[in-house]
């Protein structure tokens, strides 16, 4: 006679398997509630590189060149301005401490990848031009640029973070914040070819014309006079510059009437009290971070 216990025996393995699957299910479920991993961000449109960029001292840039001696410069405080439309979107990135400036054009962007060309300056003097540029950009977030070796230029790089200061529209009022004197003076060290530290008084008048002087304390004394105009028509924080550099009483080795560049006015000690300023002419660069 079959007992009731024997009748139940075939079902026991099924019960054990069910319990085993249940336990495994709880173990794999990760009772921590973390859920599934976040899906990767898929970028399906061409990105926009336009903006202001900084590195905030994180050391995310390099400059290398051959010479006597060879030069290797870490770029630790980069200021960057990218403006205009493709296929000739312009950029200037500079580091006053290292006295390095990269100026050029982004010619194409495909999704996050971009290509272009650049002219490289060190100590205010052109090192090489037609340097190949490539990199990646995420709109209103970050830019990562590599500059290929060319001639005496061994190579360089830039990594920048987008600054929301870019969204301030250019205007004459923003660069003439000191009404007591009629126009403000932005003052600071200026990086140019014939000496690292300059005293530069950058004055902007109501007509959007500006005037400044850079004077060295070396012997013989050099003094360059800068006269230019600022285009304030941009709805972003981009002031397009046209500048002529002349000489008066002393000598100036970088005289030319065909400098072009860009400036941005950002928050320093208070609102709109710092200017990023840079112009080039293909042979020399002049750039500075000036405070009001």
d(CA 24, CA 15): 14
Q: Which pLDDT score, from 0 to 100, does residue 186 have?
A: 75
- How many C-beta atoms surround the C-beta of residue 205 within 10 A? 15
Cα-only R_g, the chain: 29
Beta-carbon contacts of 156 under 8 Å, excluding residues fewer than 6 positions away, are 61, 62, 63, 64, 75, 100, 102, 120, 146, 147
Task: Please identify which residue in the block is written with the tokens 């300023």.
Answer: 277
Q: Which pLDDT score, from 0 to 100, does residue 100 have?
A: 93
Q: Which pLDDT score, from 0 to 100, does residue 200 have?
A: 64
Q: Which pLDDT score, from 0 to 100, does residue 5 have?
A: 36
Contact at 8 Å (CB) between 218 and 240? no
Q: Which pLDDT score, from 0 to 100, does residue 1 have?
A: 46
d(CA 198, CA 288): 10
pLDDT along the chain (292 residues), means of 10: 43 41 43 63 92 80 89 91 96 92 98 98 92 97 96 94 95 68 61 54 79 76 88 94 90 91 91 90 90 80
Q: Tell whether the torsion through CA atoms of 224, 129, 116 and 56 is positive or negative.
A: negative
d(CA 182, CA 17): 88
Q: Which pLDDT score, from 0 to 100, does residue 181 have?
A: 53
Contact at 8 Å (CB) between 73 and 100? yes
Q: Which pLDDT score, from 0 to 100, does residue 188 have?
A: 64
Q: Which pLDDT score, from 0 to 100, does residue 198 have?
A: 58
* Architecture category of domain 51-166 in CATH: Beta Barrel (2.40)
Q: What is the 3-state secondary structure (H, E, C) of the chain?
A: CCCHHHHHCCHHHHHHHHHHHHHHHHHHHCCCCCCCCCCCCCCCCCCCCCEEEECCCCCCEEEEECCCCCEEEECCCCEEEEECCCCCEEEEEEECCCCEEEEEEEEEEECCEEEEEEEEEECCEEEEEEEEEEEEEECCCEEEEEECCECCEEEEEEEEEEEHHHHCCCCHHHHCCCHHHCCCEEEECEEECCECCCEEEEEECCCCEEEEEEECCCCCCEEEEEEEEEECCCCCCCEEEEEEEEECCCECCCCEEEEEEEEEEECCCCCCCEEEEEEECCCEEEEEEEEC
Q: The pTM is what? A: 0.82
- Nearest 5 degrees, angle CA 107-CA 109-CA 110? 140
């Amino acid at each position: 006679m079959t007992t009731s216990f024997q009748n139940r025996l075939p079902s026991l393995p099924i019960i054990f398997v069910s319990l085993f699957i249940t336990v495994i299910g709880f173990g794999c479920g990760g009772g921590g509630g973390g859920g599934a991993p976040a899906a990767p961000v898929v970028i399906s449109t061409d990105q926009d590189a336009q903006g202001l960029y900084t590195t905030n001292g994180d050391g995310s840039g390099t400059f290398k060149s051959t010479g006597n001696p060879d030069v290797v410069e870490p770029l630790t405080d980069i200021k960057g301005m990218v403006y205009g439309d493709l296929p000739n979107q312009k950029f200037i990135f500079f580091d006053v401490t290292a006295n390095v400036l990269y100026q050029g054009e982004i010619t194409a962007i495909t999704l996050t990848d971009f290509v272009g060309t650049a002219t490289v300056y060190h100590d205010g003097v052109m090192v090489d031009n037609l340097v190949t540029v490539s990199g990646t950009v995420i709109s209103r977030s970050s830019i990562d640029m590599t500059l290929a070796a060319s001639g005496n230029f061994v190579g360089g790089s830039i990594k920048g973070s987008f600054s929301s200061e870019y969204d301030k529209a250019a205007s004459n009022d923003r660069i003439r914040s000191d009404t007591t004197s009629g126009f403000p003076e932005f003052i600071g060290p200026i990086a140019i070819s014939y000496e690292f530290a300059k005293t530069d008084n950058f004055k902007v008048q109501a007509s959007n014309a500006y005037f400044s002087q850079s004077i060295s304390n070396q012997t013989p004394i050099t003094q360059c006079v800068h006269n230019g105009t600022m285009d304030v028509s941009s709805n972003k924080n981009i002031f397009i510059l046209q500048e002529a550099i002349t000489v008066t009483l002393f000598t100036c080795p970088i005289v030319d009437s065909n400098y072009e560049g860009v400036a941005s006015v950002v928050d320093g000690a208070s609102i709109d009290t710092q200017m990023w300023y840079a112009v080039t002419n293909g042979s020399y660069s002049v750039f500075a971070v000036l405070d009001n």
